[in-house]
């Protein structure tokens, strides 16, 4: 996974923004899968509510309670304290997008319950919610990486950035523990095997990834 704990680097060799960008790469993999699932729903193909449920659990635990908290509690307050003015996208705008993401996740979970009960309308609503969430996060990530993160790297001192990174480690330990990042890596591999042809090319490989995810 992309968490600091699971990377063989000491915190002093990494910038906070580098850690967040690594986590962005993993979330984009999930967003690609989300778009594929939404496409399947819209074309009346088979989809698996339990997979979407696993994805929403991932989004809540890893993205919202860990990644977003790093930004909201450790990173952006320091940027605000520095007094730098950010054009095009304010910190308030980023925080509002975090809130919108939480609303989408809540809506996804509600739709999943109704999809399991056989409500077609909820499945269609779920597909729209998945697409909207994916679009929100892709734009959110682009703004952070192209506008805000370069300003952070130029503005905050090396000492301050290392303090932020140590706060990141504490947040990971509080929210994820030590074993969860590995489990999420297995989840992503399993979902990629099921919904893409990039890594796994046949049914046997898909089943192997599924068994690894279920049984570890």
Q: Where are the domains of the chain?
A: 13-176
- Over residues 49-66, the pLDDT tens digits come to 999 999 999 999 999 999
Whether pLDDT at 198 is above 70: no
pLDDT of residue 206: 47
Instruction: Give the percent of the chain with pLDDT over 70.
Output: 81
Q: pTM of this prediction?
A: 0.82
Which contacts of 152-159 are long-range, i.e. CB under 8 A and separated by 24 or more positions?
A: 152/16, 152/17, 152/75, 152/79, 153/15, 153/17, 155/79, 155/82, 155/84, 156/78, 156/79, 156/82
Per the model's pLDDT, the better-predicted residue between 201 and 153 turns out to be 153
pLDDT of residue 179: 57
pLDDT of residue 213: 47
Distance CA 175, CA 181 (A): 11
For residue 212, what pLDDT band results from cuts at 50, 70 and 90? low
Architecture of domain 13-176: Up-down Bundle (1.20)
pLDDT of residue 90: 73
Angle at 188 between CA 186 and CA 192, to 5 degrees: 120
In terms of phi and psi (left: phi > 0; alpha: psi -120 to 50; beta: otherwise), the region of 67 is: alpha
For residue 201, what pLDDT band results from cuts at 50, 70 and 90? very low
For residue 9, what pLDDT band results from cuts at 50, 70 and 90? very low
């Amino acid at each position: 996974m992309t968490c600091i704990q699971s990377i063989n680097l000491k915190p002093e060799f990494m910038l906070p923004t580098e850690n967040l960008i690594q986590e962005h790469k993993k979330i984009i993999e999930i967003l690609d899968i989300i778009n594929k699932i939404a496409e399947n729903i819209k074309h009346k193909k088979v989809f698996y509510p339990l997979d979407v449920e696993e994805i929403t659990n991932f989004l809540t635990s890893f993205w919202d309670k860990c990644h977003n908290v790093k930004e909201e509690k450790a990173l952006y307050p320091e940027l605000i304290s520095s007094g730098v003015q950010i054009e095009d996208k304010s910190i308030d705008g980023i925080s509002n997008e975090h809130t919108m993401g939480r609303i989408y996740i809540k809506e996804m979970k509600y739709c999943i319950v109704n999809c399991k009960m056989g409500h077609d309308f909820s499945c269609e609503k779920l597909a729209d919610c998945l697409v909207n969430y994916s679009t929100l996060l892709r734009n959110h990530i682009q703004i952070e990486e192209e506008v805000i993160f370069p300003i952070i790297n130029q503005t905050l001192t090396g000492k301050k950035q290392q303090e932020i990174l140590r706060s990141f480690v504490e947040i990971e330990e509080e929210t994820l523990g030590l074993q969860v990042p590995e489990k999420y890596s297995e989840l992503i591999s399993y979902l990629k095997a099921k919904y893409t042809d990039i890594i796994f090319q046949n049914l046997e490989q898909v089943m192997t990834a599924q068994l690894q995810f279920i049984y570890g």
